[in-house]
Structure 1
Amino acid sequence: MVDRYRLGLLVLVVALGVALIANAGTTTGEPDPEVLVEKAVDSMENQSIDAIHTQRITRPGGEITQTVHVQQHRSAGQYIEVVGESGEIQQQLAFNDSVILQRNSNGELVQYAGPGEYLFDEFSTLGAAPEEVLENYDGDFEGTATVSGRESYVVSLSPPKETTAAVTLGIHAGNVNYELPLHEAKKTEWYLSEETWWIDKETFYPIKQTVTWTDKDEKTIATATREYEKLEVGFGTRDLPFTARLPSETELDSSAKDTVTGRNADSNKTNTPPETESDNTTKSADTEPDDTTGSANSKETDSSQRAVYEPTVFETRAGVNVSVPFQLPTLTMPSIYTFNRGIVQSHARNHSVMLLYSKNGTDETLAVEIVNSERSLFQYSLVIHSESVSGFDGEVVITNSGTEVVRECNGRTYRVRGPPDAETLIQVTESMQC
Structure 2
Amino acid sequence: MNRRRILAAGAAVALAGCVSYPGSDDEPPTSEGIVRDAIETRRHMHDLKARRTMTVETPAETVERVEQIARQPPAKQRIEVVESTDPDVPTGSVTVTNRATTWEYNPKTEVVNKQYHPNKVDTDRTRLVLETLLEDYRLSYEGTATVDGRTAHVIETKPPVDGIGPTIELVVGDTTYVMPVNLVQDRENLESGRTMWIDDEYRYPVKERTTIAVDGEVRHDLTVTYDHLEIDQGLPPGTFTYDPPKDATVETDGRKPAGVFESRSAAEEILPYDLPKPDVPDSYVLDRITVVERAPDVGGTTTTLWYNDPNVIARELYVAVRESQRFNPTASTLEEIDLDGHTAYRRDGGIQSVFWTCGGLSHEVSSLTDDAPLLEIASSVGCP
User: Which structure: larger Rg?
Assistant: 1
- Normalized against structure 2, the TM-score is what? 0.47
| Larger RCO: 1 or 2 (CA < 8 Å, sep 6+) | 2
Structure that is richer in helix per residue? 1
